[in-house]
């Protein structure tokens, strides 16, 4: 077993796939989808077609038979053309959710049209480093349109000046090209990044990248994937949780297993809170999540919720902790940033 943070780049049925392993344990998994539906991050030149009364939204023609849905579309008339970016995956047969606030995102930089200013990730606190990054940003962004802004991501900290400069320049060039291509029929202007590109842009502090054919097999990634095909996930102390997606929601059932001590419920629930973000991320599950925690006194709910907040705060996918239901379940609302693993692998 290889130690450290390892990125494995391989292919599954000709599609790019990337896995992030920490000391041999799978932390993240990205696989290009089977279909050609709009993917999060893709930018389209769209045409407004059908207002959705009562929803303050509008259906968009994205070209090639693809449809998008834009919320808060007040003032956008049918027939108008606009640039939009896919925000989340859509269910089969439904229009892809889109936004008209574009982001051009890469490893070091995010270019933000119509949001001017240069900002640096708050996680970078060293004043000398922030000053260095400001200087690089101002130099690389000197010729940017006045209404464009720039965000330097946390990966910039300690990174090579030339790499940061080149990344900013590439993102700016791509943004200007898209923004200047607003006229014409509905069509795809900038495709979403594939799995390998997403891995490069979002996974940091990497010790080694392995891109040999078949590396998923040699590094044990397939063993982790096969384990994810089962609904049951084993937790510490003999506890377990069962994760079962339905059409309406994702149900999570927590079991104490063979532990019959007075604290069994709390221990199982805390273990669930710590492991759940990783399981949802790897399984590609989002939308409404309902957790049926193991029985424990109401006085312990604050402890469980604290563990949930801490775990999801460190997760890369936006998740809203809604709270407890009258029946004692806990609800989450999670962005559908990924497709379910079962759909990606067609299992």
- Which residue intervals of the chain are DSSP H helices? 127-140, 161-179, 195-202, 215-218, 221-228, 264-283, 301-313, 341-345
How far is the CA of 300 from the CAs of 116, 296, 337, in angstroms? Answer: 46, 7, 32
Tell me: the pLDDT tens digits for 48-107?
998 887 778 999 999 999 999 999 888 888 999 999 999 998 887 889 999 999 999 999
Q: Is the pLDDT of residue 191 over 90?
A: yes
Rg of the chain in Å (alpha carbons): 22
Give the pLDDT of residue 248.
92
| Coil vs helix vs strand at 139 | helix
Tell me: the pLDDT tens digits for 78-92?
999 999 999 998 887
Give the pLDDT of residue 343.
92
Give the pLDDT of residue 185.
95
Give the pLDDT of residue 35.
81
For 145, half-sphere exposure in the C-beta direction (CA atoms, 13 angstrom radius) is 17
- For residue 89, give both structure tokens: 């995956």
Chain centre to alpha carbon of residue 235: 24
Token pair 């982001």 is found at 103
CA nearest neighbour of 224 among 40, 7, 73, 29: 29
Residue 265 φ/ψ, nearest 5 degrees: -60, -45
State the chain's mean pLDDT as an integer.
94
pTM of the complete model: 0.91
Give the pLDDT of residue 237.
85
Give the pLDDT of residue 74.
83
User: With contact defined as beta carbons under 8 Å apart, do 315 and 276 qualify?
Assistant: no
């Amino acid at each position: 077993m290889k130690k450290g943070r390892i990125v494995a780049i391989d292919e599954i049925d000709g599609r790019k796939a990337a896995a992030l392993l920490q000391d041999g344990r799978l932390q993240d998994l990205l696989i290009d989808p089977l279909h050609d539906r709009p993917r999060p991050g893709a930018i389209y030149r769209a045409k407004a077609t059908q207002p959705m009364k009562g929803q303050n939204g509008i259906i968009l023609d994205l070209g090639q038979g693809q449809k998008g849905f834009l919320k808060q579309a007040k003032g956008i008339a049918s027939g108008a053309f606009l640039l939009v970016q896919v925000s989340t995956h859509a269910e089969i047969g439904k229009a892809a959710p889109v936004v008209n606030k574009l982001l051009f995102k890469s490893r070091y930089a995010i270019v933000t049209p119509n949001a001017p200013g240069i900002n640096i990730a708050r996680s970078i606190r060293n004043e000398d480093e922030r000053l260095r990054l400001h200087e690089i940003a101002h130099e690389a962004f000197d010729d940017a349109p006045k209404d464009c802004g720039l965000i330097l991501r946390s990966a910039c900290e300690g990174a090579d000046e030339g790499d940061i400069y080149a990344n900013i320049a590439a993102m700016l060039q791509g943004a200007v090209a898209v923004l200047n291509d607003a006229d014409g029929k509905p069509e795809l202007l900038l495709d979403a990044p594939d799995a390998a590109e997403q891995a490069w842009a979002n996974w940091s502090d990497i010790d080694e990248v392995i891109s040999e054919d078949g590396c998923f097999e040699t590094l044990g990634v397939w063993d982790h994937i096969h384990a994810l095909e089962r609904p049951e996930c084993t937790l510490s102390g003999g506890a377990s949780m069962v994760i079962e997606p339905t059409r309406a929601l994702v149900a999570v059932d927590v079991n104490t297993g063979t532990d019959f001590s007075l604290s069994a419920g709390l221990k199982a629930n805390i273990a669930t809170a710590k492991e759940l973000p990783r399981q949802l991320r790897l399984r590609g599950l989002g939308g409404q999540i309902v957790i049926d925690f193991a029985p424990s006194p109401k006085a312990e709910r604050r402890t469980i919720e604290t563990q949930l907040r801490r775990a999801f705060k460190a997760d890369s996918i936006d998740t809203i902790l809604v709270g407890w239901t009258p029946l004692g379940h806990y609800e989450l609302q999670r962005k559908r940033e990924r497709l379910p693993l079962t759909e990606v692998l067609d299992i």
